[in-house]
Amino acid sequence: MKLKGRKIYKGVAEGEALVTREGISFYGGVDPDTGKVVEVGHELEGQSLAGKILAFPTGKGSTVGSYTLYRMKKNNLAPAAIVNEKIDTIIAVGCIISEIPCVDKIDVAELKTGQKMVVNGSEGTVEVK
């Protein structure tokens, strides 16, 4: 299955999907030094985002969240790629400064945690293997 979305940031990444129906706030909601979600009560609380194809509807929270993604990248704990339904400026800027492939306008409900997939940020596609 190959889904066509919109290019946000270039690059190709292959990995295992981690999918949530909830928004993610990187500032305060994710610990950049462990790569884990720390937002209390979040569907992904306690899970590591490192190396995953992270799929969620949209970002939320403070603009400082872009810097959290950057820190995760420096720590080798960033997601391999990000897939959104509707991109927001925090995630977009975070992916650009951290050089994380990113695609939006993808129906996240079509993706499942654990699936192997390839995100092509340059073409704006998500291919489920």
Partner 1 sequence: MKLTPEEQDMLNGKHGKAAKKSMEILTTLGEIFDANCMVDVSSVQIAGVSYANLGEAGLDFLDEMAKDGKVKVLTTLNPAGMDRENWQTLGISEAFATNQIRVIDAFAKMGVITTCSCTPYFVGNVPHFGQHVAWAESSAVCYANSVIGARTNREGGPSALASALTGKTPKYGYHLDENRHGQVSIKVAAHVTGTDRFGVLGKIIGDKLIRLGKNTPFITGIPSATVEELKSFCASVATYGGTALFHMEGITPEFERYPKPSGGAFEINQEDLEKARFTLIDDELEIDFVSVGCPHASISEIRKIAGLLKRKKVTKEFWITTARPIKRVADEAGYSKIIEDAGAKFAADTCCVVAPIKGRFKSMIVDSAKACYYGRARNKLKVKIGTIEECVEEATK
Binding residues (CB under 8 A) for partner 1: these are 8-9, 32, 62-64, 66-68, 70-71, 74, 87, 89-90, 92-93, 96-97
What is the Cα–Cα distance from 112 to 94, expressed in whole angstroms? 24
Q: How far is the CB of 78 from partner 1 (least distance, A)?
A: 11
What is the Cα–Cα distance from 115 to 112, expressed in whole angstroms? 6
- Active-site annotation holder among 25, 62, 66, 122: 62
Task: Give yes or no: 62 in active site.
Answer: yes
Q: How far is the CB of 100 from partner 1 (least distance, A)?
A: 12
Q: Which is nearer to partner 1, 24 or 87 (CB)?
A: 87
Q: How far is the CB of 98 from partner 1 (least distance, A)?
A: 9
Give the residue from 74, 93, 85 showing the smallest Cα distance to 111: 85
Q: Which two tokens mark 128?
A: 């489920």
Q: Which is nearer to partner 1, 98 or 115 (CB)?
A: 98
Q: Which is nearer to partner 1, 59 or 115 (CB)?
A: 59
Mention every residue, 6+ apart, whose C-beta is less than 8 A from residue 106.
3, 5, 55, 83, 84, 85, 126
Give the residue from 67, 71, 74 showing the smallest Cα distance to 32: 71
Residue numbers annotated as active site? 62
